[in-house]
Chain A
Amino acid sequence: MKEKKINKNPLILSIDTSCDETSAAVMYGLNVLSNVISSQIELHKKYGGVVPLIAKRAHEEQIDPVIFEALKRAGVLLKKKLSFNDLDAIAVTYGPGLAIALEIGVEKAKKIATEYGIPLIKINHMEGHFLASLARNSKSIGNFTDKEFEEINFPILGVLLSGGHSEFILAKSIGEYEVLGQTLDDAMGEAYDKVARILGLGYPGGKTLSEFAKKGTDKFKFTIPMRRDKSFNMSFSGIKTAVMFKSKELKGEIYQPSQMNNPNNKGKFDIKRELSKQDIYDLARSFEEVSFGHLKDKFDRVLSNSNVKVIFAGGGVVSNSKIRKVLRETAKKHNSKIYFPRDDNLYMDNAAMIGTVAFFRYLKEEFVNPKELDRDPEAKIDE
């Protein structure tokens, strides 16, 4: 281990392999020097065919190229060639996520930490999404200056909406959290992708769906779920099912009870027609409206029942500007200030948000023994 000198602006390499993406970032304090995400770079081209086939979630094949790319890009900004020896710490997501994905990142971080004697920091993926709004760009421009950040009054509410999560989390301080509510079934991003698939827009088609919604109207006025439920939990599964049945109805796929006794009939529906473009636009719009309504309801309920004045939103779904608008309007109604990550890459699963949290752990010297670190697919932010 290096000498125990704590650097006010540490250089930290962070890794996130929680699910689909392999990501590595280099942070200088809260400044993102690089944030490499596997799906966004063509690794096999760059590395001259060393990796012939890069499948999704092939973390073991992607981890080295992604880390080296992160170091290289950060080195360009710092005008020096970075190596592991230059790092003050290495941080890694230990959960929640997919076990076989998490372990690639965790094992890699442990190996680097051990080999180079660098302090190791473990980070919860959701805490990364929560604090992504604190990350600044390489020129140190972000939502807050150091001084502004010091003046923030806790608690802070986190609204985290992604493909895998939809949660309201309260931070009493950095590192001390309480989950106020979460989805009981599908995450909001998941609902987007599933509805996109129902409408024949492929998978993942959430972004296309949201584009199509702009051309439609809220024709079907789906019922907002859980209106009388007093908890801060959400549910998107029923919305998805409602869209599906509406689309079946439009297509004339109605089950024929007279065929019930026919053993050859497997309950298939008779397809009468395909959805028209306008049907798809209207279904997409109606889906968004009911989802927004549900989110607004629950967010409103959280804010009405707490004394939160500062909100951080994060997660891939929040990169949708319409959702940011919904959140902003609701926050405004409660005189609360809402912040969003400053860069598109900070919304999705990425390593810079992990490095952001790691900065605070580093200052408190909350390091872990590489021999004792293990991935935890069901890691909880409030434990």
Chain B
Amino acid sequence: MQIVSVNDENLIKKVVSVLSNSGLIIFPTETCYGVGVDATNELSVSKLLEYKRRPEGKAISVAVSDKEMAYRYVELNDIANNIYNNFLPGPVTVISKLKLNGIDKIAKGIASENGNLGVRIPNYEKVIEIIKAYGKPITATSANSSGAKTPYKISDILDNLSDKQRSLIDLIIDANELPHNPPSSVVDTTKDEMKTLREGSVSFEKLILEVETEGEIETREIASKFIARFKSILNTKCLLILFNASMGAGKTIFVKSIAEELGVKDIVRSPTFNLIKQYNLGNEKNGKLIHIDAWRIESEEEFEKLKIQEYLTQGNIVAIEWAGGVSSKIREQYINSKDNENQKELIVVGIDIEYLSETKRKIVITRI
């Protein structure tokens, strides 16, 4: 077993050589230390299973250097693509279906029995470089043996291993003590709706998308992508969008793009003066886009008079700008209310747009 510093000049060469020889490495990530072997090599994988003392049949996730590498092994649907584009590299493991006829194969014992594989791109530059240089995925399970505590420093690992296990380690990349970040979130994208299997620092139950955009065109793209994903719920539900963003952040542009994506033919203009503007979506359900600007609303009483509940029906999208001032009322009446029939029919999404600079925006979309 050799221990090399993460700053070692020949790090990549040394690690690649170990991996090529069916070796086992301990490596740092943005979450904790992981244990890596060539995920395509059965001999390596059996060594890993022995190290983890993990029965065969329990899936092990892998780390890749980029989306392209992932795509060699797994199918990426829209949901998965969305996460790859917006959250990776980062602490998120995305479960996808293995490619049935792919040229490149993952070794036995890695994927789940039903052919699903967890993939992640660690947000750790050196690791990405290593995988890129190696050209194949490596396993990315945490370096503790099954059930033991999350390893943030080398001693966490070594102190809890048996001599046998320790002897299986060929190389340790030492990056001292890592920040104590929670393990990665694990999301299953193989079903129609995304499911969070383990919640890490990125919460998918709530967080739909978090992204920085540069320029109006990118904001438009995000809006289109967002609504493309939610389009189908309009068949059975009403989508209520609450904007929280300052003036000039691009709320109207966001709504314009949603409208375009949904086939609205009219020009979507600012609803500031009129308070409410509505547009036909041109779908079978006769749905409408209701665009509301609460900026000029001075009191909750006044807001109540707008009778927005009448718009909260199946097939409609209701987008409220400047929802901040009236959001407590909205929550009370439409979201938290127990006896409200509407509630079941309602999907509520918050969109926060924050300035980073004149052209840069940070867009955070959450389920409320």
CB distance from A203 to the nearest CB of B (A): 7
Is B276 interfacial (CB-CB < 8 Å)?
yes
Bound CA span A233–B268, Å: 13
CB within 8 A of B269: which of A97, A183, A241, A266? A183
Q: Which residues of the other chain, B, contact A182 by a CB distance below 8 angstroms?
A: 267, 269
Q: Which residues of the other chain, B, contact A57 by a CB distance below 8 angstroms?
A: 302, 305
Is A338 interfacial (CB-CB < 8 Å)?
no
Q: Are B252 and A255 in contact (CB under 8 A)?
A: no
CB distance from A375 to the nearest CB of B (A): 12
Instruction: Encode A82-107 as 1/0 by CB contact (under 8 A) with B.
Output: 00000000000000111110000000
- Across chains A and B, the number of contacting residue pairs, with CB separation under 8 Å, is 76
Task: Knowing that A19-B273, A190-B273, A198-B247 touch, tell me 12 more A-B residue pairs with CB under 8 angstroms.
Answer: A55-B301, A57-B302, A100-B306, A164-B274, A184-B267, A190-B272, A197-B247, A240-B248, A244-B248, A266-B354, A378-B266, A378-B278
Bound CA span A323–B210, Å: 43
Q: Which residues of the other chain, B, contact A189 by a CB distance below 8 angstroms?
A: 273
Q: Are A187 and B273 in contact (CB under 8 A)?
A: yes
The 4 A-B residue pairs with the shortest CB-CB distance in the complex, in nearest-first order:
A164-B273, A241-B248, A163-B273, A186-B270
Q: Are A377 and B247 in contact (CB under 8 A)?
A: no
Given contacts A255-B355, A255-B357, A267-B356, contact A377 B278 (CB under 8 A): yes
Q: Are B274 and A186 in contact (CB under 8 A)?
A: no
Q: Are A255 and B356 in contact (CB under 8 A)?
A: yes
Is A172 interfacial (CB-CB < 8 Å)?
no
Is B105 interfacial (CB-CB < 8 Å)?
no
Report the nearest A residue to B307, measured CB to CB. Answer: A100
CB distance from B305 to the nearest CB of A (A): 6
Q: Which residues of the other chain, A, contact B305 by a CB distance below 8 angstroms?
A: 57, 100
A-B contacts, 29 of them at CB < 8 A, read A19-B274, A19-B275, A55-B302, A56-B298, A99-B276, A100-B306, A162-B273, A164-B274, A185-B252, A185-B269, A186-B252, A186-B272, A187-B269, A187-B273, A189-B273, A190-B270, A190-B272, A190-B273, A194-B272, A198-B247, A203-B296, A237-B270, A244-B247, A244-B248, A255-B355, A255-B356, A267-B356, A377-B274, A378-B278
Q: How large is the interface on A (under 10, 10 to 19, 20 to 34, 35 or more residues)?
A: 35 or more
Is A116 interfacial (CB-CB < 8 Å)?
no
Q: Which residues of the other chain, A, contact B301 by a CB distance below 8 angstroms?
A: 55
The residues in A between 227 and 265 inclusive whose CB is less than 8 angstroms from any CB of B are 233, 237, 240-241, 244-245, 255
The residues in A between 135 and 175 inclusive whose CB is less than 8 angstroms from any CB of B are 162-164
Q: Which residues of the other chain, A, contact B274 by a CB distance below 8 angstroms?
A: 19, 96-98, 164, 377
Bound CA span A240–B246, Å: 13
Bound CA span A98–B292, Å: 10
Q: Are B269 and A267 in contact (CB under 8 A)?
A: no
Q: Are A377 and B277 in contact (CB under 8 A)?
A: yes
Q: Which residues of the other chain, B, contact A233 by a CB distance below 8 angstroms?
A: 267
Q: Are A267 and B354 in contact (CB under 8 A)?
A: yes
Q: Which residues of the other chain, B, contact A378 by a CB distance below 8 angstroms?
A: 266, 277-279
Is B284 interfacial (CB-CB < 8 Å)?
no
Q: Which residues of the other chain, B, contact A19 by a CB distance below 8 angstroms?
A: 273-275
Bound CA span A378–B272, Å: 15
Bound CA span A241–B276, Å: 22
Report the nearest A residue to B293, measured CB to CB. Answer: A190
Report the nearest B residue to A99, measured CB to CB. Answer: B276
Instruction: Encode B281-319 as 1/0 by CB contact (under 8 A) with A.
Output: 000000000000000101101100111000000000000
Is B231 interfacial (CB-CB < 8 Å)?
no
Q: Which residues of the other chain, B, contact A164 by a CB distance below 8 angstroms?
A: 273-274
Q: Which residues of the other chain, A, contact B276 by a CB distance below 8 angstroms?
A: 98-99, 377
Instruction: Encode B239-268 as 1/0 by CB contact (under 8 A) with A.
Output: 000000001100010000000000000110
CB distance from B335 to the nearest CB of A (A): 22
CB within 8 A of B252: which of A55, A203, A237? A237
Q: Are B247 and A267 in contact (CB under 8 A)?
A: no
Bound CA span A190–B252, Å: 14
Q: Which residues of the other chain, B, contact A98 by a CB distance below 8 angstroms?
A: 274-276
Q: Which residues of the other chain, A, contact B266 by a CB distance below 8 angstroms?
A: 378
CB distance from B223 to the nearest CB of A (A): 15
Instruction: Encode B343-362 as 1/0 by CB contact (under 8 A) with A.
Output: 00000000000111110001
Q: Which residues of the other chain, A, contact B299 by a CB distance below 8 angstroms?
A: 55
The residues in A between 172 and 210 inclusive whose CB is less than 8 angstroms from any CB of B are 182-187, 189-190, 194, 197-198, 203
CB distance from A202 to the nearest CB of B (A): 13
CB distance from A363 to the nearest CB of B (A): 31
Bound CA span A78–B31, Å: 85
Bound CA span A197–B273, Å: 14
Q: Are B269 and A184 in contact (CB under 8 A)?
A: yes
CB distance from B297 to the nearest CB of A (A): 10
CB within 8 A of B270: which of A56, A185, A267? A185
Bound CA span A98–B278, Å: 10
Q: Which residues of the other chain, B, contact A100 by a CB distance below 8 angstroms?
A: 305-307
Q: Which residues of the other chain, B, contact A163 by a CB distance below 8 angstroms?
A: 273
Q: Which residues of the other chain, B, contact A162 by a CB distance below 8 angstroms?
A: 273
Report the nearest B residue to A165, measured CB to CB. Answer: B273
Among B247, B248, B279, B358, the most chain A Cβ lie within 10 Å of the Cβ of: B248
CB distance from B213 to the nearest CB of A (A): 14
